Structure 1
Amino acid sequence: MTNLATLKRQLLADLVSLAEYEAQAPEFAVAREFIAARVRAGLTQEQVAEKMQTTRSAIARMESGRTMPSLRTRSRYAEATGSRKVV
């Protein structure tokens, strides 16, 4: 059975895969900041969603790194988690 680190190394050996991976770095950085802010605040996704008047699935999508949330959404997330800002 291949572990995750080995699989990642094999995939990133391909230049096309590496370029795509690096292109998504900003989205993943924002996702990590969202998760870190929520964890620091001691909140669940459901609690953040309630404070933002949205759904838990919307929070999960933001924290997945698949899309770059708008500045307004980032500001609302920061407010909901008691953070000064989220990237």
Structure 2
Amino acid sequence: MTTTAQDSTRRATEKTAPKNIAVSTPVFGLMTSNQVAAALALSNKTLAAWRSSGRSPLPFLRLGSRVRYRSEDVLAWLESRMCSAATDAARGSL
């Protein structure tokens, strides 16, 4: 049997203790360059080159010296890159 003080301490701890969040889960939908590079099977250098050259329209946020990507922007960018056999044929072979 627990006392009232122990119960209130336990409840306060449960309210303030962070929930277990997987390391790979983006917080607030923000992803690091490493997470985006891994998800897209690219190198971090490729993402950096795309950012500096403007080669890719993949939107990013600059938070001080840190770069973050919104997960919904990454998904939208991937959707915009979707090709079908007809569009691939229209481009010609590589």
TM-score by length of 2: 0.32
Structure with greater proportional helix content: 1
* Larger relative contact order (Cα-Cα within 8 Å, sequence gap ≥ 6): 1
- Higher Cα radius of gyration: 2
TM-score by length of 1: 0.34
Structure with greater proportional strand content: 2
